[in-house]
Amino acid sequence: DVPVLENPALPIGAYPRRAPACDGMVLPKQQSFADWNQSLPVGSASSRRTLQFQMQYPACTVHPIRGNVLTRLEKLDRGEYGALILAEAGLQRLGLEHRITRRFSPAEIVPAAGQGILAVQGRAGEYTDLLQRLNDPQAAFCAKIERAVSKGAYADLQGEHVTLYGFYAEDGVGIKSTLTGSVTQAESLANTFAEQLKQQVQAKKEAML
Give, for all 209 residues of the chain, the pLDDT tens digit.
777 778 899 999 999 999 999 999 999 999 999 999 999 999 999 999 999 999 999 999 999 999 999 999 999 999 999 999 999 999 999 999 999 999 999 999 999 999 999 999 999 999 999 999 999 999 999 999 999 998 899 999 999 999 999 999 999 899 999 999 999 999 999 999 999 999 999 999 999 88
Q: Which amino acid is at 193?
A: F
Q: How far apart are CA 36 and CA 158, in angstroms?
A: 35
Chain centroid, CA 136 distance in Å? 19
pLDDT value of position 71: 97
pTM greater than 0.85? yes
CA distance 202 to 175: 10
What is the structure's pLDDT at 91?
A: 97
What is the spatial distance between Cα 179 and Cα 9, in angstroms, rounded to a whole number?
Answer: 35
- Residue 26, exposed/middle/buried by CB under 10 A (0-12, 13-18, 19+)? buried
Phi, psi for residue 87 in degrees, rounded to 5: -70, 130
Q: How far is CA 174 from CA 55, 113, 205, in A?
A: 9, 16, 9
pLDDT at 176: 95
Predicted pLDDT at 141: 96
Provide the residue count of the chain: 209
- Strand 161-170 and strand 62-63: the pairing is unpaired
Query: Taken in order 186, 113, 148, 52, is the CA torsion positive or negative?
Result: positive
Alpha-carbon Rg for the chain in angstroms: 18
